[in-house]
Homo-oligomer: A and B are copies of this chain.
Amino acid sequence: MRRVAISSWATSKFAKNSKMSLLELACDPSAEILKTTIPQKEVDAVLLSSCATDQYSSTIISEMLGLHPKVSHRIDNLCNSGTNAVASAFSMIASGLCDTALVIGAEKADSPGNKLLWDITRGSFRLPVHWAAIFAKAHMRRYGTTEEQMARVSVKNHKSAARNPQALFRKKVSLKEVMSSRKIVEPIKLLDCSAPCDGASAVLLVSEEKAKKLERPVWIKGIGQQTNSASFAKATGDLTMVEAARRAANDAYKMSQLRPSQIDVAELHDAFTILEILAYEDLAFARKGEGGRFVDQQELSINPRGGLIGCGHPVGTTGVAQVAEIAAQLAGRAGIRQVKGCRTGLVHNLAAAGSSATVIIMGA
């Protein structure tokens, strides 16, 4: 298998109403990559990650960008569409079918991917916040995790987002503000939640041969993916963990030959604050039950771009934006939010109540 690197990335400003169409959103970060990094004729694949229902959209975007790739198609799987597209691009290059692949995530705030109307196992509790509340209560009951610990995730991620010009929310919030924000579903408050928004991000993957020309290539070292179910009822047998994420993480660690303690920086799928706490444990950064107390640890940097809570969550874009952030960090090009001396990074990306998950491990 050929090694695969990430050679460039770009993320546009996430916004509540960008006034841009899906196609315009998609072109924005892609054009930035094309302007600086790769001649148009060298792009072998264009993979669009989006839950939007536009037809032939990946190929229309290719034409708008002046590209004539071999491969062009759209990929969707709700909130982990983005990492599915990155994993797919990885395999196209690793297998030798392509030498380069541009992965584009693009989504509008009103994406049909925000709704989970198909899952009747949720009964009348159809919003994602309903299952987030169930996860939170289970973890609080069994391990004594507190609402304040969850709120600290929000404070931390909003603080990071304040340093990220692309983030939707650029204002720090205090613990008191999170704790007193409107309760949505007990015990989840407004500031425990991420928000849908318009946003796009793109990453360029290249073969080992092409990566040799780079000053500081960022390698994709491990990929793990797991689909447990589509419905919440079958997603996990233990409501204090996301089983799919555990399996995906195991596979990614194994493939990368890295241990959790070797990860320096991570982008975790904090669609709700409780999900970041579960992720600490599912990824084996913290021991089972200790996620709540792990929030303010100093061992590794988590969600330096601000996570989904700080940046916003444009469904099909999120996984791509997470990969873009880790690539920027490992290349030492993350600007004012650079994590010093980081050498290995991890992306954790869930969909629909953690019924499916992707974990990607990268290294400088």
Residues of A within 8 A of B (CB): 1, 46, 51, 53-56, 58-60, 62-63, 67-78, 81, 84, 87-88, 90-92, 94-97, 112-113, 115-116, 118, 223-231, 234, 248, 251, 351-352, 355-356
Contacts and interface: CB of A to CB of B under 8 A. Distances in A.
Interface SS, A side: mixed
How many copies of this protein are present in the complex? 2
Contact of A55 (B78, B88, B91, B95): B78
Given A55-B115, A95-B94, A227-B68, A75 B78 contact: no
A364 to B, nearest CB: 22
B76 A225 contact: no
Nearest to A61: B230
Contacts of A71: 84, 87, 225, 227
B227 A56 contact: no
A90 B95 CA distance: 9
20 contacts: A53-B53, A56-B118, A56-B352, A58-B77, A59-B355, A62-B229, A63-B229, A63-B231, A68-B227, A68-B228, A68-B229, A71-B227, A74-B75, A74-B76, A88-B88, A88-B92, A90-B95, A91-B95, A94-B94, A94-B97
B228 A70 contact: no
Nearest to A51: B55
B112 A53 contact: yes
A78 B95 contact: no
A70 B224 contact: yes
A47 to B, nearest CB: 9
Contacts of A46: 227
Contact of A77 (B74, B91, B95): B74
Contacts of A231: 63
B51 A234 contact: no
Nearest to A44: B225
